[in-house]
Structure 1
Amino acid sequence: MNNFTKLSLFTVLATTTIFSSCKKEYESIQRVDDAAIKSYIAKNNLTSMQQDPDKTGFYFQVTNPTTGDLFLNKDSVLYDVVIKSMQSGNQYLKSPVNGNLGTYVGYLNNFFQSSLSTSTTYNIPALRTATLALKPGGVARILLPSYLAFGRNGAGGIPSNENLDVTITTYPYKKQWQFDDVKIQNFLTAKGLTATKDASRVYYITTAAGTGTETITETSTVVYKYTGRLLDGTVFDSSTDGTYSTTLQYLIQGWKAIIPKFTAGAKIRMFIPSDMGYGLSGNGAIPPNAVLDFDIEIVSVTK
């Protein structure tokens, strides 16, 4: 056998060995994860857990079946998600209390959460598959092996090769504004408040009528005192010393809709749906799809 033939044979054998070892390692992870999940199911008596239809390796169950039609890929879904460790029970991720997540069902496999401290979008088809087994308002629990989740690299606080217990809770609303309107109405009822609903879907309460004569336009310079809260009372911004000055063009849509109805001296409280505030992206301490609660005093108006 000449040197060239020997070298070629060695290369083929080495390549075969490498790929074989990689395959064995990958299959080993599958076996280890599957054994762990089956043990978890038995230990916690999760008898309703079923293997996913495509036998990719995750298990799930519908814990709140509700009524209506099943989700389709084309449907919008408003949801919350909780992710915790199967091994330790540690909670790694939970949707914000004052907001919720939302996308199309068909996009649910592209999972991204900024609280994971990463800019990576993860491909987790199990979220979509489980949601397609739900009707709006339904809840699913997913047991997710590490190799179908965040793998050996982990993500944020989720360590390497971590099997996960995931709960996805959907809401019975097709549009975010519908959900926001219910949130506002429930808040008003719970607090015994009566508010006017504007055509913009912003609710407002007038606590003091304005005494000024200047109308507020896009170019008016207005000085405000204000406090902004989330619906649980968390203050995310405040300026109560009467030094905050701006024109309407730099304000969120909710302010733009209501402020021109008043003059200097007015005191109002506004409940702003998320699409008239900071929407799906949120802003700093304001989570995605958060309803905003503002106390506002219009100090002065200058043309």
Structure 2
Amino acid sequence: MLKHLSRYTFALIGLTILFGSCKKEYESIQSVDAQKIKDYIKANNITAVEDPDKTGFYYQIIPGTGTDTTKYKYTDSVLYNGVVKSLANGSTYLTTSSVANLGTLVGYTEKFTASLTIPAIRTVLTKMKRGDAVRIFLPSYLAFGKNGSGDIPSNENIDLVITTYADKNQTALDERLIQKFITDKGLTGMTRDGSGVYYSVSAAGTRPDSTTNFSTITTTYTGRLIDGTVFDSNTDVSFSLSPGSVIDGWTKTIPGKIGVGGKMRMLIPSALGYKTTGSGTISPNSILDFDIEITARKN
């Protein structure tokens, strides 16, 4: 009996040592992360605030120019984007598109990507107002953890920059960004269609009035995001202009505007493009910039 007891006792002691060492290792990561973040904040003279729940992150709010001084509530809609950088060397690991956003209710903003939850975002947003930005200094165990993700290495402390838009809805944001794009690029002759698409016709072509939603057009086109990224380009490809066959921006804008040989440019708000889902390399809520020429038409 004594012999058996000794074996059980030694096994119990072994397990105690094992779990104790794991706990110490986990606690040491927290301690190391905390010190690195504190050292970074001090070395860069950053005025940062500690997480009110003391889970381990710090944040610095950067006031925006919005006129709304009311702070976000969980039930408010928020439009924002994010940039993930290394705290150690400033490398950018992940960024949302410069014009897309992660729009949702504040209460759901902890879902940063499909596979990453960052509750710190929700916590900090309730300290902010529309148009503000914030830097969140995240210890690795509140970010990508010991496994990392893609180019993000194991146990990497993160400098997460969240920028909110002053606009209260996507329609208003798209309108403002399109108008800014037109001004910044010095575009002339742009007309706002009733649907919200801005367009200019450089060549009307033959019988524009014969181009209808029942037409099938053969086109040469280039599609870009408003940061200049080309996401698609084709020559002599045919499309029906009937609703559901192409994006709504084409269906609502092209008919009656240009005929065969006609050329136009369209700036399409996200609701008439790929909406909140995106498509392939096109991020959700992206504004689209198209150059299009009709080379043939069938009615």
Instruction: Mark the runs of 5 or more structure 1 residues left unpaired by the alignment.
Output: 113-119
RMSD: 2.2
Distance 1:126 1:147 in 2: 12
Amino acid at match of 2:255: P
**The residue matched to 1:35 in structure 2 has which SS?**
helix
**Cα distance in 2 between the residues matched to 1:171 and 1:261:** 36
Give a deviation string over 1:31-57, Cα, whole Å, max 9, x none.
Answer: 1111111111221122x2111010001
The alpha-carbon distance between structure 1 residues 199 and 6, as it changes in their structure 2 partners (threshold 3 A), is farther
Q: Check conservation: 1:229, 1:235, Cα contact below 8 A.
A: yes
Q: 1:116 matched to which residue of 2?
A: none
1:261-285 per-position Cα deviation (integer Å, ceiling 9, x unaligned): 3352332221100121123333344
The worse-fitting range, judged by mean Cα deviation, of 33-42 and 286-295 is 286-295
Give the letter for the 1:239 counterpart. Answer: N
Aligned residues: 292
Q: Is the 1:65–1:134 contact (alpha carbons within 8 Å) kept by the matching residues of 2?
A: no
Counterparts of 1:174-213 in structure 2, within 5 Å, are: 174-190=168-184, 191-212=186-207
Counterparts of 2:124 and 2:190, CA distance in 1:
39
Q: How big is each residue's C-alpha offset from its partner over 1:220-267, in whole Å with a ceiling of 9 and x where there is no partner?
A: 321122222222433332234xx2112124211110111223352332
Distance across 2 between alignment mates of 1:175 and 1:199: 18
DSSP-derived class of the 1:153 partner: coil
User: Per-residue deviation at 1:100?
Assistant: 3.3
1:41 maps to which residue?
41
Distance (Å, rounded) in 2 between the aligned partners of 1:88 and 1:277: 37
User: Partner residue of 2:117?
Assistant: 123
Map of 1:117 onto structure 2: none
Structure 2: segments with no counterpart, 5+ residues: none
- Structure-1 separation of matches of 2:64 and 2:256: 46
Q: SS in structure 1 opposite 2:29?
A: helix
Identify which range, 223-232 or 249-258, moves more after superposition: 223-232
Matched, 1:18 2:38: no
Amino acid at match of 1:174: K
SS in structure 2 at match of 1:62: strand
Q: AA paired with 1:176?
A: Q
Secondary structure at the aligned position of 1:123 is classed as coil
Q: Which residue of 1 aligns with 2:73?
A: 72
Partner Cα distance (1:3, 1:253) in 2 = 80
Matches within 5 A, 1:29-178: 29-46=29-46, 48-64=47-63, 67-112=68-113, 121-178=115-172
SS in 1 for 2:130: coil
Partner amino acid, structure 2, of 1:182: R
Question: For residues 240 and 3 of structure 2, what CA distance do their matches in structure 1 show?
Answer: 81
Percent of aligned pairs with the same amino acid: 49
**2:13 corresponds to which letter in structure 1?**
L
- TM-score of the superposed pair, with normalisation by structure 2: 0.88
**1:3-36 CA-partner distances (Å, limit 9, x unpaired):** 5544544444333333222221111111111111
Q: Distance in 2 between matches of 1:223 and 1:7?
A: 82
Distance in 2 between the 1:89 and 1:235 partners? Answer: 27
Secondary structure of the structure 2 residue equivalent to 1:262? coil
TM-score (norm 1): 0.87
Q: Residue 225 of structure 1 aligns to a residue in which SS?
A: strand
* Compared CA separation, residues 74 and 93, structure 1 to 2 (3 A): same
Rate the CA distance shift 1:192–1:223 in 2: closer, same or farther, 3 A: closer
Task: Output one character per residue of 1:92-115: Cα deviation in whole Å (capped at 9) or x when no partner.
Answer: 223323433323222221221xxx
* C-alpha contact 1:101 1:280 (8 A) present in aligned 2: no
**Cα–Cα, structure 1 residues 55 and 233, in superposed 2: closer, same or farther, change >3 Å?**
closer
Deviation at 1:156, TM superposition (A): 1.0
Answer whether contact 2:231 2:282 (CA < 8 A) is retained. yes
Cα distance in structure 1, aligned partners of 2:286 and 2:179: 14
Shift in Å, 1:192? 4.2
Contact 2:203/2:258 (<8 A) preserved: no
